Structure 1
Amino acid sequence: MSVSKEFALKIVDLLEDKKANDITVIDVEGISPIADCFVIATGTSSTHINALSDHLSKELKEDLKHREGKVSGGWILLDFKDVIVHVFTGETRAYYSLERVWSDAPRVALHN
């Protein structure tokens, strides 16, 4: 397993610790020039997505390259260079439907 996928699975563990919903890891290595994996997760509210992104930022602060988005917008993006994390509210996730956009990319099997 690649280092990027291992790191993505570490992120999954951290998201599960804070009760993120519907976590998906998409392998975009060789498809996207911006990352090897996307991790997509849903929070139950804007407060929850903020807590999820804060938890990742704190636990992985040395690896975090960039954070953007607003809790009020329902989407926070965390850039860990080879792994990009998208934390959404349910409504915003459904609207942007990243899984549909990247439907040709394989999904990484989660360990749960």
Structure 2
Amino acid sequence: MTATDRSQDLINVAAQAAADKLAHDIIAFDVSDVLSITDAFLIASAANDRQVRAIAEEIEDKLREELDVKPVRREGEREGRWILLDYLDIVVHVQHSEERSFYSLDRLWKDCPELPLPADALATRNRPEGARTDAAGNAVAEDES
């Protein structure tokens, strides 16, 4: 079994939303062959707690606006270190970089096929962890000297 087209659509919108808020190391795995509860995981990292929250909020907003879906469960909002958004078809993990390194979900799911992502989301694999954002988690251009 492979992830459905609907799951891929959700992953694409969520990944683009995460990239728009400067998430880094965005990756998606098709977990449908090993889990019966969901088709795919999207994992994204952020440099600080505020950015973790901003990325999760942007993902929720974009999925609601573009695909008219809301998460059935949201966990980790208070701490802001690892926010999980469960959309049944997909589960989104937005993690602080330290949590990402410690829990290593990428290593845990490495045997599952990666799902294709929008170009902006793929580009985040080379984005520096400390990319600048404003208080709302929006990208801030570096001043040119």
TM-score by length of 2: 0.71
71 and 95 in structure 1: CA distance in 2 versus 1, 3 angstrom threshold: farther
Equivalent residues, number? 112
In structure 2, C-alpha distance between the alignment counterparts of 1:14 and 1:21, rounded to whole Å? 12
Contact kept, 8 Å, 1:46 with 1:71, in 2: the verdict is no
Deviates more, 1:88-97 or 1:26-35: 26-35
Alignment partner of 2:23 out of 20, 23, 30? 20
Instruction: State the shift of 1:73 in Å.
Output: 5.8
Listed one character per residue, the Cα deviations across residues 14-34 of structure 1 (whole Å, up to 9, x for unaligned) are 111111111000011121112
2:32 is paired with a residue of what secondary structure? Answer: coil
Q: 43, 46, 54: which one pairs with 1:43? A: 46
CA drift of 1:90 comes to 0.6
Identity over aligned pairs, percent:
34
RMSD (Å), alpha carbons: 1.6
Which structure has more strand as a fraction of its residues? Answer: 1
Question: Alpha-carbon deviations, 1:21-52, whole Å to 9, x = none?
Answer: 11000011121112101000001100000111
Q: Please report how far the alpha carbon of residue 103 of structure 1 lies from its aligned counterpart in structure 2 after TM superposition.
A: 1.6
State the alpha-carbon separation in 2 of the partners of residues 110 and 56 from structure 1. Answer: 14
Higher mean alpha-carbon deviation, 43-52 vs 71-80, is at 71-80
1:96 maps to which of 87, 91, 103: 103
Letter in 2 for 1:23: I
Provide the secondary structure at the position in 2 that maps to 1:60. Answer: helix
What runs of 5+ residues in structure 2 fail to find an aligned partner?
120-145
| TM-score, reference length from structure 1 | 0.90
Unaligned runs of 5+ in 1: none
* Alignment partner of 1:4 is 2:11: no
Equivalent in the alignment of 2:33: 30
- Give SS of 1:22's match: strand
Q: Which stretch of structure 1 is more off in the superposition, 16-25 or 61-70? A: 61-70
